[in-house]
Amino acid sequence: MAPKNTSAARIDPGGYAGSSPRPSQLPGGTGQPTNLNLELTDLCNIKCRMCGQADNSKVHNLQPNSFMTWEVWKASIDSLTSYPDEVSLCPHWLGEPMLHPEFDRFVRYAFEQNEGNRLFRHFKLHTNGSLLKDRSIDTLLDCANMDSMAEDTFRFIHFSVDAWTPQVYYDLKKFDYGARVYRNIIRLLERRTERGLRWPYVTNAFIVMPENQHEAGWYLDYWKRVFERLGIDFEVFYDWPSQLVDNLYFRRLHQADQAAADRLHRIVLDRLGILPLDAAGDFVEDSF
Ligand code: SF4
């Protein structure tokens, strides 16, 4: 399979920057989009081996005061009306945003206030997917497909999956949630299809590591079958998804020995048949 990152079809790496100017660019702005992370919580319910956050014991100690309050969220969202630059909003930074007990209410509020993209131009969700219940699936689908703002406002949900077998999922994340994560993502895709909706697209991310590298092909085959069963077009990327499409993202690990991580990443890409080489046989760097 050839790599699909073509410059003609590129969007912004990471899916953050705006694809069009904010409708009402205000005086005093820089003219550059702002990535705004309003962190609903810094807690997380799993312990990914590649995440610094996972080593902090406080992150797994569920305390009521570890969640953003409604007052702070509402005031933050409302204040965007006077923010001078285009905003790309993400309700997460280091924690798992769906741990927030009022996740649905918070996200709905933001979208209901965003008529004509007056507050934010884009919205993106990163999640481990383990807490994605039917109610939240419908919240996310409702918000992503509202007629009151640009149709590409909520383009992607990025799922950190990283494993195919439950055992490797457990080894990497210390919780046995692998099967649940798969079910939740498939349910989202099914529900989006049942409702005849387009947005948001799904990124199923697989960070290539020594512990999971042998599963990359199985991961690709499995999700290929899921997408085909549902009649969904998809692409395979080796860097941040650069087209508006459901996708599998085989991501390289960032670590102290970066050369080793890069080598392993390229070995796996080669095995999958998506190693991007130029005419001289050199690796084609994208936005790394
Ligand atoms: S799900 Fe995200 S925040 Fe939680 S441990 Fe994994 S990478 Fe870190």
Q: Report yes or no on 105 lying in a domain.
A: yes
The predicted structure's pLDDT at residue 25: 59
Strand partners, 154: 123
Instruction: Report the atom number in ligand 1 closest to the C-alpha of 128.
Output: 1
Alpha helix locations (H) across 29-144?
A: 70-79, 103-112, 134-144
Q: Report yes or no on 222 lying in a domain.
A: yes
Strands (E), the chain: 34-37, 87-90, 122-127, 154-160, 201-208, 234-237, 246-252
Q: Report yes or no on 190 lying in a domain.
A: yes
Q: Report yes or no on 123 lying in a domain.
A: yes
Domain that holds residue 148: 33-54+66-272
For residues 15 and 124, give the distance between their C-alpha atoms in angstroms, rounded to a whole number: 8
The predicted structure's pLDDT at residue 4: 39
The predicted structure's pLDDT at residue 287: 54
The predicted structure's pLDDT at residue 58: 78
| pTM score | 0.89
Among protein residues, the one whose CA lies closest to atom 4 of ligand 1: 44
Q: Which of 34, 9, 45, 42 is nearest to 176 (CA)?
A: 45
Cα(184) to centroid(ligand 1), Å: 17
Cα(93) to centroid(ligand 1), Å: 10
Q: Which of 19, 35, 21, 33 is nearest to 91 (CA)?
A: 35
Q: Report yes or no on 19 lying in a domain.
A: no
Q: Report yes or no on 267 lying in a domain.
A: yes
Those residues of the chain that have pLDDT short of 70 are: 1-26, 64, 286-288
Q: Are 73 and 113 in contact (CB under 8 A)?
A: no
Cα(50) to centroid(ligand 1), Å: 8
The predicted structure's pLDDT at residue 280: 85
Cα(99) to centroid(ligand 1), Å: 12
The predicted structure's pLDDT at residue 110: 98
262: CATH: 3.20.20.70
The predicted structure's pLDDT at residue 288: 45
Among protein residues, the one whose CA lies closest to atom 7 of ligand 1: 51
Q: Report yes or no on 15 lying in a domain.
A: no
Long-range contacts of range 111-114, CB-CB < 8 Å, 24 or more positions apart? 111/142, 111/143, 111/146, 111/149, 111/153, 111/154, 113/77, 113/78, 114/148, 114/149, 114/153
Among protein residues, the one whose CA lies closest to atom 1 of ligand 1: 128
Residue 224 CB-density burial (10 A; 0-12 exposed, 13-18 middle, 19+ buried): middle
How many beta carbons lie within 10 A of that of residue 263, not counting itself? Answer: 12
Q: Report yes or no on 217 lying in a domain.
A: yes
Q: What residues does ligand 1 touch, defined as CB less than 6 Å away?
A: 44, 46-48, 51, 53-54, 94-96, 128, 160
Strand partners, 156: 124, 201
Q: How many domains does the chain have?
A: 1
CA 24 to each of CA 36, 110, 115, 255: distance values in angstroms, whole numbers, following the listed order: 18, 18, 12, 41
